[in-house]
Amino acid sequence: MSGHVLVINAGSSSLKYSLVDAKTGEAAATGLVERIGEEQSHHVHHGPSGSYDDEQAVADHEAALEAAVQAFETHGPALGDVDIVAVGHRVVHGGDRFAAPALVDDELIAAVTELVPLAPLHNPANLEGIEVARRLLPDLPHVAVFDTAFHQTLPPYAYTYAVPTAWQEEYGIRRYGFHGTSHSFVSGQAAALLGRSVEDVNLIVLHLGNGCSATAVRGGRSVDTSMGLTPLEGLVMGTRSGDLDPAIHGLLARVAGRSAEETDRALNSESGLKGLTGVNDFREVSRRRAAGDERAQLAFDVYCYRLKKYIGAYYAVLGTVDAIVFTAGVGQHSAEVRAAAVSGLEGLGIHLDPARNADPTDNIASTDDSPVAVLVIPTNEEWEIARQALDVVGG
Ligand code: AMP
């Protein structure tokens, strides 16, 4: 085997890994350690000889990665038998310092540490993953791949908030955007599907998972995106509110005595679909809506209306659009969301084919003569991270 990258995505209490052939995207093994630091952790490893499940306590990220390395030895493929060229780490926030993936060294770690105030939930966990992996796998080059990097091509008028200039200079307050590896991957796939070079197409990419974001992509470059300083802004998500009036923070402080932290937490973890229906899983919202639940219907309408507004806004940003691309859990699987998001947009040249939309096996949900194609494309962030890591180490 050759050209494999061990992709690591370290969250606050989880460690996800995947051994990916950077050329083909094929995963030789994948795994996930969840509930790190709790009494009973959960480790699942899918290798060539099947799946392996374990429920032992895993104290910290170091123990989690040790368990992963052990799972490779026991259940395959043994890491020593695979030509691994790099370890690729997902890092959520690269600020405006990283417009591309970069080799991990002490300077990079210092820079990512400085960015912690911008991503207090994510960057510390990502750093932990990097440090542990460097200790356990010291002979391999480690590459950081940033969620924000793809959006560093935004023009200043798209990334600048209309707030006092000093806020950007002093606190880094501007739009950064996230889900960059997904938007980048899906853009390349969409262009290939259209039989065009990515430089020649304009796309609106809608990543609709637990987190949701929309990106306007002109010629392979992100020119606007819905997530902002943090992944809270933009579309309605599983537990995040997306766009709202910033005055809400002040009002809740005055009338309800809520602290900034409490409101932040509620907007990140108790809002979105969960705030409107009590559940964040889109499938459950769908099920309730089908059963006539009015709150689920309203949540669905709010979700899809926001999506439609972003499609319209990014259509205006791009001027001409070759395709609208749906990806991630909801984008890929919910025909009803796709239908609602583009309904009534025939005047913009967007013509959905209901039968294809219900079963988009060839990735196309629009009619043959629709001026704007509607595509349904699975994302593969692990493969994109592997490809970018391979680029950095010169594969
Ligand atoms: P992701 O973050 O990409 O894993 O997406 C997770 C979201 O996709 C959750 O809200 C799921 O409920 C939703 N999802 C997954 N499968 C389906 C499905 N078949 N239909 C509708 N939503 C789905």
232 and 330 in a common domain: yes
Residue ranges for the known binding site for substrate are: 90
Name the domain boundary from 85, 119, 146: 146
Q: Give 208 Cα–ligand 1 centroid separation in angstroms.
A: 8
- Helices 282-290 + 294-318 axis angle, to 10: 120
Instruction: Cite the DSSP H helix spans in 239-393.
Output: 247-256, 260-269, 272-277, 282-290, 294-318, 328-333, 335-342, 354-358, 381-393
| DSSP symbols for 333-353 | H-HHHHHHHHTT-GGGTB-B-
The residue whose CB lies within 8 Å of the most ligand 1 atoms, and thus the one to mutate among 185, 206, 333, is 333
Domain ranges, residue 14: 4-146
- Domain presence at residue 102: yes
- Looking at the structure of the chain, the number of domains it has is 2
Q: Which pair of structure tokens corresponds to residue 109?
A: 């770690």
* CB-ligand 1 contact for 330 (6 Å cutoff): yes
Domain of residue 107, CATH code: 3.30.420.40
135 and 210 in a common domain: no
* CB-ligand 1 contact for 145 (6 Å cutoff): no
Percent residues over pLDDT 90 in the chain: 96
Between vectors from CA 264 to CA 92 and to CA 289, what angle results, nearest 5°? 90
pLDDT in tens, 175-231: 999 999 999 999 999 999 999 999 999 999 999 999 999 999 999 999 999 999 999
pLDDT in tens, 131-157: 999 999 999 999 999 999 999 999 999
Tell me whether residue 147 is one of the annotated catalytic residues.
Answer: yes
* CB-ligand 1 contact for 333 (6 Å cutoff): yes
Give this prediction's pTM: 0.96
Look up tokens 């123990």; give the residue. 63
**pLDDT beyond 50 at 1:** no
362 and 222 in a common domain: yes
Residue ranges for the known binding site for Mg(2+) are: 9, 381
Q: Which of 83, 106, 147, 359 is catalytic?
A: 147
* CB-ligand 1 contact for 6 (6 Å cutoff): no
Q: Give 17 Cα–ligand 1 centroid separation in angstroms.
A: 20
- Please answer whether residues 365 and 377 qualify as being in contact, where contact means their C-beta atoms are separated by less than 8 angstroms: no
